[in-house]
Amino acid sequence: MRIDKLSKEILEKISEKFELHQEVSFYNTKKVVDAFRAHRVSEYYFSGSSGYGYADQGRDSLGDIYAEIFGVEKALVRSQFVSGTHALSTALFGVLRPGDELLAVTGAPYDTLQTVIGATRKQAGSLTEHGILYKEVALKDGVPDLAAIKQAMNSKTKIVHIQRSRGYADRKTLSVEEIGAICAIVKRYRKNCICFVDNCYGEFTEKTEPTQVGADLIAGSLIKNPGGGLAPSGAYIAGRSELVDMAARHLTAPGLGDQMGATLGIIHRLMYQGLFLAPHVTLQAIKSAIYAAGLFEKLGYKVSPCVNDFRSDIIQCIALDTPETLQAFCQAIQRNSPVDGHVMPIPGQMPGYNDPVIMAAGTFVQGASIELSADGPMREPYNVYLQGGLTFEHSVLALSSAARDIIG
């Protein structure tokens, strides 16, 4: 009964916090609908193609729609991308050449990208193995160190990598405005340097995207925000046309680029429909994160962001202090999931991660973090990273159950 009472109190207090995010959702929904109308989306776009996928108008128009929404020249949207990391890797390998330098300016990138880079975590086939130079600029007091970024750039620096979301790091997510400030300092001193943003978890959380404040290239996963909970796989790369073309040639082959890639029937309809739903579903995820912040802060746990903090992605971090509490939280989320609710998650080694990770993801699309999910590495301070929520109501039920399990 204590949690039920507390939940009701939290819901009453946070309802006014939803207004700003509701406004953003309306704005982005209009942007999506306008783009669909401008590109004359028709039912035959959903039929898909087979084999080589030549002249697939539905595929090509989806890329054009993404480009319009993100305010860029071109976008590559494909189910052939196996993950967001694959899209990021494709863009990096497509653009960088031996002797070029990749400069990460938001500290160490997310775990799985570190194996792509291969500087601190050696991996066959990595960027460094192919002769790409790599350097990092740490955050200063949790925010980008613009002076240090200026000092770190040199004539070999070809790409500045900006990670929008926190990943498994103990830092806040960057706002689009903060990303714009990084791009401005880069362009002021190295105008030909490419600003590349890992946009995962951030799409449709604000009215603008990084490409509208100076980013040359962005990438993200379709089983996160832009897939709207329906896209069964895939990712996108968007930005300046010559850069997207370079990435496309790495995805397929030189001479083929973005002219090929079958869309295979129903998958394509789900990618379109998911994009249509994406602003609304992203709103559900943000509301879920705000509720989690309010509930677990009230229970005495450190949360980030806090209830009143600005949000530029869908991730909610909760420091659960002990491995037992982290495991209990994830098991409660799994138990209250619509799929595989009978499964008991336990920590285990996963490709691309240093520490054992526990993941709760009872999702309709395997691993889809726009659906309610929770995961975290088994290391201090035993943070859980909550994301997603196709419906706010489901999130409230699952999070309240997790709170009951933790407090006993």
- Mean pLDDT on 257-280: 94
Q: Which two tokens stand for residue 224?
A: 């996160």
35 — pLDDT class (breaks 50, 70, 90): very high
The chain-wide mean pLDDT, for the chain, equals: 95
pTM: 0.95
Summarize pLDDT for 345-376 with one digit per residue, the tens. 999 988 767 789 999 999 999 999 999 999 99
pLDDT of residue 265: 80
**Alpha-helical runs (H) found in 43-141:** 57-70, 84-95, 111-117
Q: How confident is the model at residue 111 (pLDDT cuts 50, 70, 90)?
A: confident
Residue 261 vs residues 49, 320, 365, 388: alpha-carbon distances, Å: 8, 44, 21, 29
pLDDT (tens digit per residue) in 284-305: 999 999 999 999 999 999 999 9
List, for residues 145-188, the tens digit of each pLDDT value: 999 999 999 999 999 999 999 988 888 999 999 999 999 999 99
Confidence at residue 119, expressed as pLDDT on a 0 to 100 scale = 83
DSSP label of 97: -
d(CA 294, CA 333): 17
Sign of torsion over alpha carbons 13, 17, 18, 19: positive
Which single residue is written with the structure tokens 């108008």?
Answer: 57
First to last CA, the chain: 12
For residue 1, what pLDDT is reported?
59
Contact between residue 368 and residue 222 where contact means Cβ atoms under 8 Å apart: no
Q: At what angle do helices 266-298 and 2-14 cross, to 10 degrees?
A: 110
Task: Please tell me the predicted confidence (pLDDT) of residue 164.
Answer: 97
Nearest to residue 392, comparing CAs of 271, 250, 283?
283
- Please, what is the Cα angle at 357 between 368 and 171, to 5 degrees? 80
Averaged over 116-126, what is the pLDDT? 87
pLDDT average, residue stretch 389-406: 96
Q: How far apart are CA 404 and CA 406, in angstroms?
A: 5
Per-residue pLDDT reduced to its tens digit, 329-348: 999 999 999 999 999 999 99
Nearest C-alpha neighbor of 108 from the set 126, 120, 94: 120
Residues whose CB is less than 8 angstroms from the CB of residue 362 and which lie 6 or more positions away in sequence, other chains included: 333, 334, 336, 337, 338, 339, 340, 341, 343, 373
Q: Which two tokens stand for residue 397?
A: 């039920």
Task: Please state the rounded mean pLDDT for residues 37-47.
Answer: 95
| Tens digits of residue pLDDT in 187-236 | 999 999 999 999 999 999 999 999 999 999 999 999 999 999 999 999 99
Distance, in Å, from the CA atom of 350 to the CA atom of 309, rounded to the nearest integer, reads 32
3-class SS of residue 240:
coil
